[in-house]
A and B are shown apart, each in its own frame.
Chain A
Amino acid sequence: MPKITFPHVAEAQRALKMLMNDLGNEVVMPPRPSKRTLDLGVKYAPEFACFPVKILLGTYLETCPQGVELIVTSGGVGPCRAGHYAQLHKKILRTLGYPVDIIVFEPPRLYPLDLLHNVRKLNPHRMSYRSIYECVRRAWRKIQALDNIEKISHRVRPRELSRGATTRVYRQGVEWIDRAYTMKEIIEAEAAALEALQKVPQDPEREVFRVGIVGEIYVLLEPASNLEMEETLGNLGVEVERSMFLTGWTRDNTWDQTEENITVREAALPYLPELLGGHGRESVGNTVIYAKRGFDGVIQLAPFTCIPEIVARTILPRVAKDYDLPVLTFFLDEQTGKAGMTTRLEAFVDLLRYRKRQQQKLPKFAASR
């Protein structure tokens, strides 16, 4: 049985573990990125490589000594650097003396044969494609369930009566879903977790701001890389909506909430008509959509030196001005400290509160822009 590992992406790794075990591989679980992970990553990654490169490399360096033979990760074809992570990591790991191989899942539409080839490598027991499909479907449903409860937790947290209650229930829900195996169990666990979250005592009267979060996908998805920003914001009384989940469903679901029924791409068109790779265009487009949906503010998260996000960040002030929407940007790297971030977030929330007061004083038509 080959020993395999994969990057740590929030809670989704639980589903990935189940999938890989089902296919008959032994999984070395990636640890949650910590100070040690970062130190290892920073030590061996190129200085100006973006933050995710360093976190992923650190994660691999923590798991590789446990005898990992295969690393499973995603690729990309854009002009974004993410497409080269796997190749760079492989070279660095080999230089450091770990005989690992990396399996890169490229966009299947461009490389359909690669996909089959990769699946074969991960399928030591020669299971039929039909049963593999069943396993993938179950894992996908599990990720969806995890995403669903996370989304609800974002909604409940700012309104909770006792601080920390939501997070506790959420952790428990994640455990329930983690333990579920069959499709039926997953759906039941999800329903139970959702119900438990809804039952968290809430204050419906509380003033809650709605803030959208846009940016580069890894720092959005991995709470350890953005210093649990969503939780911090929730505790400050902000309902966050993240523009990206691993299952990507928000992108399909929110377009009908804008008046013009526009997609992210169409929303970004007047500002950034070119596909830059990464999520630069999505950042701009999602900001426009959040503005049209009447959000109170938008926060952009990007790794330091991220090229597409720098382009997006250059354009975002214009979007902010056109739609009169506060936008705050965090460029994250290994130097980012939690206290500094919290201070900036508190100031941002204060600003939102002040703006709301001002708008309430103004006549209706001016406030509803």
Chain B
Amino acid sequence: MPARVGIPSTLLYYLYFPMWETFFQNLGAEVVTSGKTNKKALDYGVKEALADACVPIKLYFGHILNLKEKGVDFLFCPRVVCLNAETTYCPKFLGLPDMIRHVLTDAPPLIDTRMDVREGPGALLRAYGEIGRVFGAQWPAILQAYWKARRTWNRFYALLQAGWQPPEAMEMVKNKARPRIQKEKGELVFAVLGYPYLIHDQFISVGLLNKLHKMGIKTVTAENLPARSLVKQRDILDKRLFWTFSDLAYKATQFLLKNGGVDGIIHLTAFGCGPDAMLDKFMEMLIRQRSSIPFMSLTVDEHSGEAGVTTRLEAFADMVRRKKGAVA
């Protein structure tokens, strides 16, 4: 019987799951995900995690408990420190395996490999080698699995760059479906910036993207913007933001202000999020200083209500429409 590896469907899942799934399947393991976020996962998380932690971390705890109930042999909870040699992830990501280990003492064994590309060339491969050896795989098999995983990820990433959102892209990579031509609809384009695990989690963002689509608004996220141009954005802050997602969101803002093409920018953030407290202010000041694009920051937490979010989105969309009508 193959070993069952549990991958929580939150946090980095939205960016790296296709890669991880391919890797584990090629090593002969069975991949189990915790499924979509639901009320149960949230309730579990709120109960087990620290009250002062942010919602994503609480959800992570909830997803881990879901996986525990499903009966997995291993939990994949890597300590992802740095993947682009420049910025690190939030300190909570860095301490994630420790938090899980010391709070959920009866959780299945964790695979908590440290991934830090600053350690030198081949650091990532070494990390995956370490993971592979948990399943008793030899280097040739690991290399093959890693190569296939990278190929899957490239395919996945190409779909993101073509304008698909991670959940859709994951579906397409899985079914090997040809990307359909995207239906161009809607007269407004909003950029939704923030953490992918907030934006694409239908439950915690209260269906933000779908709501916008229903209002006839097209959406763009940081994953859809050309990665090369984002990297090339000049650092206009005195000091570069330390955190990968925050840095990305800030550069995406810069890119959007320079290249235009959006009618409004929404920053989705979680209540009590540390990096976002800084980022949000920096974004606000940047947008105010450089352009007249309307900007809204939307905070979600475990109590976010459907009606409240809808009202704010409608008001924002109305405001943008009126402004556009006045200008045109």
Contact = CB atoms under 8 A, between A and B. Distances in A.
A305 B242 CA distance: 17
Given A276-B95, A310-B50, A314-B99, A46 B280 contact: yes
Contact of B92 (A87, A95, A304, A307): A307
B285 interface: yes
B278 A81 contact: yes
A304 B277 contact: no
B251 interface: no
B278 A311 contact: no
Quick one: which of A95, A306, A310 has the most chain B CB within 10 A? A310
Contacts of B275: 81, 307
Interface in A165-217: none
A84 B102 contact: no
B52 A81 contact: no
Interface stretch (A143-151, A226-234, A267-275): A267-275
A94 to B, nearest CB: 9
B79 interface: yes
Nearest to A75: B239
Interface in A28-80: 46-50, 75, 77-80
Interface in B74-95: 79, 81, 88-92, 94-95
Given A79-B242, A273-B98, A314-B49, A278 B272 contact: no
Contacts of B237: 87
Interface in A271-300: 271-278, 280
B285 A95 contact: yes
Contacts of B282: 88, 91
Contacts of A90: 238
A308 to B, nearest CB: 5
B274 interface: yes
A234 to B, nearest CB: 28
Contacts of A348: none
Contact of B277 (A81, A87, A318): A81
28 contacts: A46-B277, A47-B277, A49-B281, A50-B274, A79-B94, A80-B91, A81-B274, A83-B239, A84-B242, A91-B281, A274-B94, A274-B95, A276-B95, A277-B242, A280-B91, A280-B95, A304-B52, A304-B272, A305-B272, A307-B90, A310-B52, A310-B53, A311-B91, A311-B94, A314-B50, A317-B103, A318-B105, A331-B52
Given A311-B92, A318-B102, 13 more contacts: A50-B274, A87-B238, A88-B278, A272-B98, A274-B95, A277-B91, A305-B273, A305-B277, A307-B92, A310-B92, A314-B53, A314-B99, A317-B102
Interface of A: 46-50, 75, 77-81, 83-84, 86-88, 90-92, 95, 271-278, 280, 304-308, 310-311, 313-315, 317-318, 331
